Amino acid sequence: MSRLKLFFPKRYGIVLLTFICANICYIERVGFSVAYTKVADAAGVDQSTKGLILSTFFYGYALSQVPGGWVAQQLGGRRVLLLSFLMWTLTAALVPLDPDSPKILVGARLLVGIAQGFIFPSIHTVLAQWVPPHEKSRSVSLTMSGMYLGAAAGMLVVPTLVQLWGPQSVFLSEAVLGAIWSFLWFKYASDPPRSDHHLKAGPTDTMLPVSYKEVKGGAHRPLVRIPWKKMALNLPLWAIIVNNFTFHYALYVLMNWLPTYFEQGLGLSLVDMGSSKMFPYLNMFVFSNIGGVVADKLITGRILSITKTRKVLNTVGFFISAFTLMHLPMVRTAGGVVVWSSLSLGFLALGRAGFAVNHLDIAPKYAGIVMGVSNTAGTLAGVVGVGLTGRILEDAKLGSGELTSPESWKPVFFIPGYLCIMSAVVFMVFATGERVFD
């Protein structure tokens, strides 16, 4: 056992389980989008109503981000992660997918959004406790890349599940995956022992502080003082927030509306597209991990400072993503759309090695809180972007009677493209890799 721990430290298992957690969460998000699109189109639901149902998740998700970070800070990310995961899994599994019951669907998606809103602040709290500084870029990138692998798996498997066993089979399958993950997390995960709080730091960083301190009798209690005012006025934090908003605007618009684009914009069947429909999200998985490894190499090899590393990767990722997004509506073949959307989402994921890991640079002690604040902006991007896209497409359909022309889709992809350019500039000017919150 001691030899196993020597070659496979427990923190690796923790990171792997958080990766799987993110994976399953995004299988659910893509799964609902594909399954609901299928039943809604069959029932003749208009695009605005589809946009409302698809965006309801993000209202709940936005409401619980900051509370999720605070609760994780107080109770421990490990416990909060398990409880929130169980809550959304049960809700998704038990509520029927009925397009004729929009109120029930809205309520269910709201609950799933609230429960999932606790997930990523809790994950960041766990990673802040377990991961040493010289591993944080690749650890956070690996964990977050689980989202994209989950989206890829969802795009590959869900349309076939819907075709063979009906839309409700998607949510029952997710419940099984959720039960397996919950059991593994319950059995394996723990708070780090004190020896793991003092893991050797990398050559360019200081020790990662922990979220818990000793009190009398050897027990631990969470730190409760959160520097809210300082956070509200801090420009490097606002740089992260702006980029999180843009990243998720682009991601959620593509995730929720690519099925409609393929089927109504290009006249293609998701089932007939085979494995190609998963490539955009698979590319995100690859690029996210490349970004994490490159960032750690640049920093630990003293090639670039932490600040310059974050800015370079963020700028490259967001600028290339902007270019590919704005080119996307001009490509009218299935293969071309797959290639350009893959490039767009891949370089967007590369940018996560910039702004997303930056949470742990500037505020490792308050990682869950800062992630909650930042991810609230990202969630609002989902509310705005998914709902706005529905209205844009409904107006285009009312004007021309169809959604097959490039002009109908230009606003859908140009808006996130312009946001990527603006956000990259903001991060370049205001971001820092230095610790800001002690």
Identify the band that residue 273 occupies on the pLDDT scale cut at 50, 70 and 90.
low
Q: What is the DSSP letter of 193?
A: P
Sequence-ordered list of residues with C-beta below 8 angstroms from that of 399, at least 6 positions apart, any chain: none
Mean pLDDT of the chain: 82
Among 15-19, 129-133, 291-295, name the one with the lowest average pLDDT: 129-133
- Smallest Cα–Cα separation from 34: which of 260, 213, 322, 189? 260
| Res 131 pLDDT > 90 | no
Output helix, strand, coil percentages for the chain, rounded to the nearest 5.
80, 0, 20
- Smallest Cα–Cα separation from 360: which of 63, 82, 123? 123
- pLDDT of res. 270: 66
- pLDDT of res. 62: 84
Give the residue-averaged pLDDT of 87-92.
Answer: 85
Sequence-ordered list of residues with C-beta below 8 angstroms from that of 1, at least 6 positions apart, any chain: none
Q: 3-state secondary structure string, 99-160?
A: CCCHHHHHHHHHHHHHHHCCHHHHHHHHHHHHCCHHHHHHHHHHHHHHHHHHHHHHHHHHHH
Identify the band that residue 206 occupies on the pLDDT scale cut at 50, 70 and 90.
very low
Give the residue-averaged pLDDT of 101-105.
Answer: 82
- Smallest Cα–Cα separation from 332: which of 268, 390, 274? 268
SS3 214: strand
Sequence-ordered list of residues with C-beta below 8 angstroms from that of 408, at least 6 positions apart, any chain: 265, 393, 396, 397, 400, 402
**From the DSSP assignment, how many helices (H) and strands (E) are in the chain?**
17, 2
Using CA atoms, how far residue 357 sits from 272, 274, 290, 346, in Å, is 38, 34, 14, 17
Which CATH homologous superfamily contains domain 10-193+227-430?
MFS general substrate transporter like domains (1.20.1250.20)
Among 77-81, 186-190, 322-326, 363-367, name the one with the lowest average pLDDT: 363-367
Q: Which residue has the tokens 């006249």?
A: 267
Question: Tens digit of pLDDT for each residue in 292-329?
Answer: 889 989 998 999 999 999 999 999 999 999 999 999 88
| 131 close to 85: Cβ distance less than 8 angstroms | no
| Res 266 pLDDT > 60 | yes
Among 6-10, 23-27, 80-84, name the one with the lowest average pLDDT: 6-10
- Smallest Cα–Cα separation from 158: which of 46, 334, 39, 20? 39
CA distance 204 to 301: 9
CA distance 130 to 19: 14
- Smallest Cα–Cα separation from 404: which of 390, 393, 391? 393
- Smallest Cα–Cα separation from 148: which of 44, 5, 36, 248? 248
Using CA atoms, how far residue 237 sits from 214, 243, 377, in Å, is 29, 10, 12
One-letter amino acid identity for 396? A
Sequence-ordered list of residues with C-beta below 8 angstroms from that of 9, at least 6 positions apart, any chain: none
Question: Tens digit of pLDDT for each residue in 31-44?
Answer: 888 888 888 888 78
